[in-house]
Amino acid sequence: MKKNVIKLMMVSGLLLTFLGCSDDFVNENPESGFQNVNQFGDIAEANPEILTGFISGVYANMYLTGTGGTTGHDDFGHKAYDLFADFLSSDVALSVSTYGWYRASITEMQCTEDFTFTDNYQVWRHYYRIIRSANLLIATLGGDEADPEDETNRATLGQALAMRAHSYWYLTQYMQNDYNPSQEILPLYRTASPIGVGKSTAAEIFELIESDLNRAIVLLENFNRSNKSQVNKEVAQGILAYVIASQRDVSRMPEVVALCDAVIANSGASVMTAAEVTGGFNNVNTPGWIWGFDITGETGLRLVSWWGQMDAFSYSYAWAGDAKAIDRNLYDAIPANDARKAQFFAGSGYYNLMPLDKFYDASRIIGGPSGNVVADYVYMRIAEMHILKAESLAKMGQDGPARTALRVVLDQRLPDTSYLNGLSGQALLDEIHLQTRIEFWGEGKTYLAIKRNATSTGVRGNNHLSFVGESIMHNEERFTFEIPELEIQSNVLINEQN
């Protein structure tokens, strides 16, 4: 394990050196520009291991610090933006703020109305960084439509396509106020060309996302991944299910259901038990996780990490003075006999409603043990597929099957789910949305559900520091990030916000 981690870090370091930082971009190129594919081809030819190791470097962007282009303690890869989204959704409350992280820019929603805030740049830079590294790998392997004979190369291309799609999809969610297929929203790069482009329509972006994922599913057919950090066929199918659902076309809900069923049937994963959902969410080998990252001491994460912001049992801001808690109103909506109620500290003072029994380092030492973070990151769980399936069936008017799909999860949470029998139509959809918020609290999923269902946040409880009593609609300006100032300054083809 230690040798593999060291090798990964070496590859990741070479990748990040090759990709460079903002200083490496020429002024006339946009911040989302790319390096020369021939340079990478030369490196790959000189060291054949780079070609297979490069995809590990792509994944490294998901957890490494600084991938949003800053040295901030809120810049730590994909999970950083899960946390941004959780704050915006109102489900995560910043209940005490001593050090100021997230205080004005995110929880007061200043950045989403002012493109000069660095948070916009971080979101943009992080996902375009993955896109450009995936594009380099795709180009090296022959392009979008390549059909490598070698199984290793097929799997590498499939993973690169899936990661490009995943990043573009997150950008559509974070950068467009409301789904409108004809609106121009993002520059679309599908090659390793360094030339800047203007914005493409949402329809064009989604067409590429779906094409990438469908191609990835084919290429990953025979891929047996070595660890859960890698995208396999089932993870690609799960991402595609989300992508289709987010376009709100009821006629396509059968596709979402079919994809969810395929993941459920073939992933080998099982819904986390009541014991597991109060077990710390710290082990990638948990049977209910289908995509995540195994963090070890050699990974080098500590304070600047998701755990460093969220977990009172890590060396963290959550311990030292920036408390993150469940929204009071959402907590009150969880039944007393629901296993998930016990995830949150029901007391008084600083730790009130913090997730002390959902997310925690296994040591259970307040303030954390000495040394680096070793608790793992979760990106996707099988429970997501069951609840997304229930949501899609309910939108199709298939209330009975929707209730059955939802029960697969709730039977592990509640002693009695008979109340579901009385729910249908909008009441059932509302219950599924509520269960999404409860089940995936703190995992970055509620924001996506709010956008997907064109709904609003819950009414903010009294343990927030801002906007108490307010509910925010999915398409409000303050709910969506801005195209960053640097992109508009450096890309002459983009001169206005979405």
Query: Per-residue pLDDT for 361 more than 70?
Result: yes
Q: What is the pLDDT of residue 48?
A: 43
**Cα gap 212→206, rounded to integer Å:** 10
**Cα gap 243→267, rounded to integer Å:** 19
Q: Are 63 and 292 in contact (CB under 8 A)?
A: no
pLDDT tens for each residue of 70-129? 999 999 999 999 999 999 999 999 999 999 999 999 999 999 999 999 999 999 999 999
- Angle between the N-to-C axes of helices 49-60 and 151-175, in degrees from 0 to 180, rounded to the nearest 10: 20
How far CA 138 is from CA of 148, 161, 208, 347, in Å, comes to: 11, 7, 14, 52
Task: Supply the DSSP symbol for 72.
Answer: -
pLDDT tens for each residue of 13-72? 444 444 443 333 223 445 544 445 565 555 555 554 666 788 999 999 999 999 999 999
pLDDT tens for each residue of 314-327? 999 999 999 999 99
Return the half-sphere exposure (C-beta side, CA atoms, 13 A cut-off) of residue 189.
Answer: 29
Q: Which residues contact 89 (CB under 8 A, 6 or more apart)?
A: 437, 446, 447, 450, 457
**Cα gap 488→478, rounded to integer Å:** 19
Phi, psi of 362 (to 5 degrees): -60, -20
